[in-house]
Amino acid sequence: MFNTKLRKRTAQVFNSVCKGAEEEGFCFDTLKEATEGLMDVDDYVMELILQFNEDIWKNKELFMLVQEFFANSLATLEFCAATESSINSAKENLTLLTSAMKLLPEDGDPSEIQSRRIMNVLTYFRTAESPFGEMFFRKLENLLAVHRSMLAKLREEKKKLDKKLKHVEMWRKVSAVLLGAAAVAVVICGIIAAVITTPIIAGGFAAAAAIPTGSVGPWLKSMWNSYRDEYHNQRKVVQEAAKGTFIAIKDMENIKILATSLDTKLKDVLSAAEISEGSPDVGTLRFVVEDIMAKSFKFEEELNKLQKYVDDVGHRIRNARNAVLDKMNMLSRNEK
């Protein structure tokens, strides 16, 4: 398409010039036709570039990365919800345990029914599945791996966009130089025409050359600025996604630390709950109950700490998603 237009326009210019030479010599209209032909070449080049706007501005890699970011953040929110559920389950078990422990009278011996109930609760608590066991940490490690991979991709995309920004700046300068060179060439042609014809034609030629050059220059600058702004906005989207992913990684690492501490505290409680089957003597039962109550308090503190942290993580993830959406909306508005 471009070559066809270029050949057609060039032929028009040559025909006009040749016709003018044969009939009446060079005139203002003939030279204006030649000048406009030169400027049309610039216009066609810019038209060709603009044909690639959709390809340049619809960054498929960025689109896929943003989709992946939202999928990962959603998975993290689901993990946080599952963690909240595990915490609530652990709290329910702990409440059941501490309620049973309170059956032991402060003074005097417990009844047989009280002792049996305490023993049943201890057995249930020991055999219950740990909410922070191997499966929990496996899911957490998988989520961490996904976020780390995502962060690496986002950093790579940022490098590409940084490089594109440099190229846009370079092409902006080059196009300005080329446009200036074209304008100078046209003016020189006008001077030559003045030498071989008359000053009137030279003045007209210079005026004809100045009109398209003056209009194309700002337009060219505006076009490159649009490209630059587009890449800047894409870069902002990547930066927000990378920021959110980095925070998510740190949050997952902190959850791992808290959950590990929690698992240790839970094992302490379970260890304290170890008691021989049958009817233990009152002294042993009282010692076990007091030990469990002390360790359960620490376990509950860790549960509350993790619950608060997971809740904060959820807020941070939602804020990160909103920040990326804001940048994407800005990108969409600029495209329009």
C-alpha span between 260 and 95 (Å, rounded): 21
The token pair at 324 is 């990326």
**Which of these ranges, 126-130, 208-212, 326-330, has the smallest mean pLDDT?**
208-212
228 against 1, higher pLDDT? 228
Q: Which amino acid is at 154?
A: L
The pLDDT, as a whole number, for residue 52 is 39
Q: How far apart are CA 119 and CA 116, in angstroms?
A: 5
Task: Summarize the confidence of residues 180-193 as an average pLDDT.
Answer: 52
pLDDT band for position 174 (50/70/90)?
Answer: low
| Average model confidence (pLDDT) across the chain | 68
Residue-level pLDDT at 5:
54
Find the mean pLDDT for residues 107-116. Answer: 74
CB-based contact 216:182 (threshold 8 Å): no
Burial string for 226-236 (b: 16+ CB within 10 Å, else e) reads ebeebbebbbb
Check pLDDT > 50 for residue 115: yes
Contact 235, 334 (CB under 8 A): no
Query: For residue 171, how many other CB atoms are within 10 A of its CB?
Result: 14
* Cα–Cα distance, 118 to 129 (Å, whole number): 19
Q: What is the mean pLDDT of the segment spanning 47-63?
A: 51
Q: Domain coordinates of the chain in residue numbers?
A: 1-51, 52-335
Band of pLDDT at residue 21, cut at 50, 70 and 90: very low
Cα angle 23-24-27, degrees, rounded to a multiple of 5: 125
Q: What share of the chain in percent tops pLDDT 70?
A: 58
Across the range 293-319, mean pLDDT stands at: 81
Whether residue 111 is predicted with pLDDT greater than 60 in this model: the reply is yes
Task: Yes or no: say if 241 and 65 are a contact pair by the CB < 8 Å rule.
Answer: yes
